[in-house]
Amino acid sequence: MGSPTPAPAALLKALRQATTAAAATSAINHAVDYIVSTPSLAATQQLTFGLQSCASLHRSVLPADCVVVRLQQAAAICAAPTGKAEFLGFILLQQLFRSLEYSMDVSSERQLLLKVYNANRDVLPGFVAALTSGDGPLAHAEQALQVVAPVLKAALISETEQAERKAMVLDTLSRVAWHADSSEAVRTAVARILVQALELVPRSDWRSATYAMLVALAVDLLASFSIRDLEYVVLAAQIARLVLETTQWLLQQDVGVLALLQSLERLAAALPEALWRSEFLTSCGYFLAAKCSSPMEQQLMLRVLTHTLTFGREATRTKAASGRSVYVETLVLPLSSILSSHGSTVSKLLKLVTEIQTTARFTPLLQLEDVAASTETAAHAQSIVRLIGQEKTCEAWLASLFPAASDSTAATADDKWLALLIVALLSDDRPSLRDAAAGCLERQASNSPKFWSAGTTKMLVTSLVFLVSQQPAEESTKSVATQRRFAEWVASCLFSLATLAATTTDTMRIVLRLIDSMNSVAKMRAMALKLLFEVWRKESRVFPRLETMLLERNADDQDVDRHVVKVATIKALCEMEPEQGVEFISSIQSFLEDELGTVVAMAMDAIAALCAADCLDFY
């Protein structure tokens, strides 16, 4: 039979009476064996204090890590009762903190703590208590955080750790950070831990309240720094990207995201330079266009963009001579598509976008950040930014789209990315890209009229209306060729609008309003008539409007352009629909007496078309 286990009193006596290294080692080993086996918290604490005293008395002859090694063994094994595990975690971390006074290398201590935590999760409350205890390491908080950081991150990203314990970890980190409010180094260390944890939190935990708390604490810390250090900007950019991706996913799961978007707004207000990046703005544009349809969430995102673009405008003005490296054009489609819902706010944002565009030309960075995209949205945003930076490649890509007639619909259910990019390039200040995008949209309208979904079509229409409604910058140095090129671009956009108008009732209403506005401006009346005729070619139900406009008298007898377009429209009408064209026979007769030979010729062609269709009975 084995010898009976000594009672705690006998073990304590042996620890006190040990006079040699061998006796002390033996007493400590027996005490640890009892600690492992006993369920008594009181006995565990008494023996732990006893072995600490014994090791302290014999520290000159015992190994420096004698107590730490024994406590590690006990803490890793003793899972019940939980109070005992908590105590052992507390004592172990305190013992490690004492050793930091004599060593700057914390790598072994980090590994030891993580190993113990992975073996016994119940030590976590003890670790947390030791970190914030009155006689704890807050005087050396930065070094202490380096030791315990792996355990805290492991707890925050664990799918099995209790939510209460995660909240406890966050509370502890908050106390550590704000206790050392005079030390930005400590707050920076805490911010690093939080951001690293955010990068690793599993998707299954995104919907938890703890995740929102984690984001809020990280943002509050970064917002508290008085100095705009580069590291803070990088950390803030990471948080912004993660929050945007998380929010997008949660909305798809019908989970509330107000707290996350409020944190993102606070981050944008505190560190807007972190969000002033092409990839982030492109992702925001896609979020508004494809993933966020609720007004409150849209409003919060618009606030984020307001802070970011306001900063961007000032930054662009400061460095206007060297151009701008941030591409804001990807915001045109999403912003113009919600203009009717968020009037003044979106109008101000579109004005900011326009000001940034006109202040400095876009100059692609020679070398982009080579950061692996963690999500599909990030990958698309990075690809778009790379593509727009390569002008010739982008032109070739646009030229490859919609090459031949097809009745196919969009290749994927989500066509927002392509629409967002085409509209961005339509508003680009590089003429070659702008023209290529306009040509691409014209080919789509002709060759693949059913490509876009109804929702995307409406976005395209509202975006095109916004673009063609903008006044071009007045530049006395513009050549006639440049002005003609811009006019051709506007005409191309207008004819694309006419084709898209017939898709839905909403798009038809938008385009008809634009035509009415154009018809009220003398210089635009000819184009308004031509545009309405193009709409009629796709949707015959607008004929009453076309008829009314054709029968209108020219407000100015010198309006030759509108007069010629009117005759050409009636001629085309007679050729395409002679039964409707014959209603304008009296007008055609008057055209035969016109001073312009082209008008007379077109009138004769119209009569010939009516005769060929047996709509006239004279020879």
Rounded-to-10 torsion of CA 192, 380, 462, 243 = -20
Digit-coded pLDDT (tens) for 450-474: 888 888 989 999 999 999 888 665 5
Contact, 549 vs 529, CB < 8 A? yes
pLDDT of residue 206: 86
pLDDT of residue 155: 87
Burial of 484 (0-12, 13-18, 19+ CB in 10 A): exposed
- Give the CA count within 13 Å in the CB-facing half-sphere of 593: 4
Range with lowest mean pLDDT among 110-114, 115-119, 470-474, 486-490: 470-474
Asked if residue 3 has pLDDT above 60, the reply is no
Q: How confident is the model at residue 619 (pLDDT cuts 50, 70, 90)?
A: very low
Digit-coded pLDDT (tens) for 537-549: 888 889 999 999 9
> What percent of the chain lies above the pLDDT cut of 90?
30
Asked if residue 567 has pLDDT above 70, the reply is yes
Digit-coded pLDDT (tens) for 82-93: 888 888 888 888
Asked if residue 532 has pLDDT above 60, the reply is yes
pLDDT of residue 276: 95
Rounded-to-10 torsion of CA 567, 515, 486, 359 = 160
Query: What is the DSSP code string of 365-377?
Result: -SS-------SHH
Asked if residue 335 has pLDDT above 80, the reply is yes
Asked if omega into 81 is within 30° of 0 (cis), the reply is yes
Asked if residue 285 has pLDDT above 80, the reply is yes
Q: How confident is the model at residue 408 (pLDDT cuts 50, 70, 90)?
A: low
pLDDT of residue 286: 94
In whole angstroms, give the CA distance from residue 214 to residue 208: 10
Q: How confident is the model at residue 411 (pLDDT cuts 50, 70, 90)?
A: very low
Provide CB contacts within 8 A for 321, sequence distance 6+: 360
pLDDT of residue 539: 86
Q: Who wins on pLDDT, 378 or 557?
A: 378
pLDDT of residue 605: 92
Q: Across all residues in the chain, what is the average pLDDT?
A: 85
pLDDT of residue 338: 92
Helix and strand tally (H, E) in the chain?
Answer: 31, 0
And the tokens for 157?
Answer: 């990203």
Asked if residue 477 has pLDDT above 60, the reply is no
| Cβ count near 359 (within 10 Å) | 18
Contact, 264 vs 226, CB < 8 A? no
pLDDT of residue 560: 87
Average pLDDT over residues 559-568: 89
| Cβ count near 221 (within 10 Å) | 25
Contact, 75 vs 88, CB < 8 A? yes
Q: What is the DSSP letter of 319?
A: T
Asked if residue 495 has pLDDT above 60, the reply is yes
pLDDT of residue 405: 61
Sign of CA dihedral 188, 189, 194, 199: positive
pLDDT of residue 407: 52
Range with lowest mean pLDDT among 488-492, 574-578, 599-603: 488-492
Average pLDDT over residues 119-140: 76
Average pLDDT over residues 53-75: 81
The 10 Å CB-count burial string (b at 16+, else e) for 105-119 is ebeebbebbbebbee
Contact, 127 vs 93, CB < 8 A? yes
Contact, 86 vs 75, CB < 8 A? no
Asked if residue 53 has pLDDT above 60, the reply is yes
Q: How confident is the model at residue 368 (pLDDT cuts 50, 70, 90)?
A: low
- For 571, left (φ over 0), alpha (ψ -120 to 50), or beta? alpha
Q: Who wins on pLDDT, 368 or 337?
A: 337
Average pLDDT over residues 263-276: 95
Contact, 567 vs 591, CB < 8 A? yes
And the tokens for 458?
Answer: 């409406």
Query: What is the DSSP code string of 100-139?
Result: GGG-S--HHHHHHHHHHHHH-GGGHHHHHHHHHSTTSSGG
pLDDT of residue 275: 95
Q: Who wins on pLDDT, 223 or 102?
A: 223
Asked if residue 218 has pLDDT above 60, the reply is yes
Query: What is the DSSP code string of 41-100?
Result: HHHHHHHHHHHHHHHHHTTTTS-TTHHHHHHHHHHHH--SSHHHHHHHHHHHHHHHHHHG
pLDDT of residue 265: 96
Average pLDDT over residues 569-581: 91
Q: Which residue shows structure tokens 């080579």? A: 370
Taking alpha carbons only, the member of 138, 126, 230 closest to residue 178 is 138
In whole angstroms, give the CA distance from residue 418 to residue 401: 10
In whole angstroms, give the CA distance from residue 38 to residue 608: 111
Asked if residue 344 has pLDDT above 50, the reply is yes
Sign of CA dihedral 256, 258, 260, 261: positive
> What percent of the chain lies above the pLDDT cut of 70?
90
- Quote the pTM value: 0.82
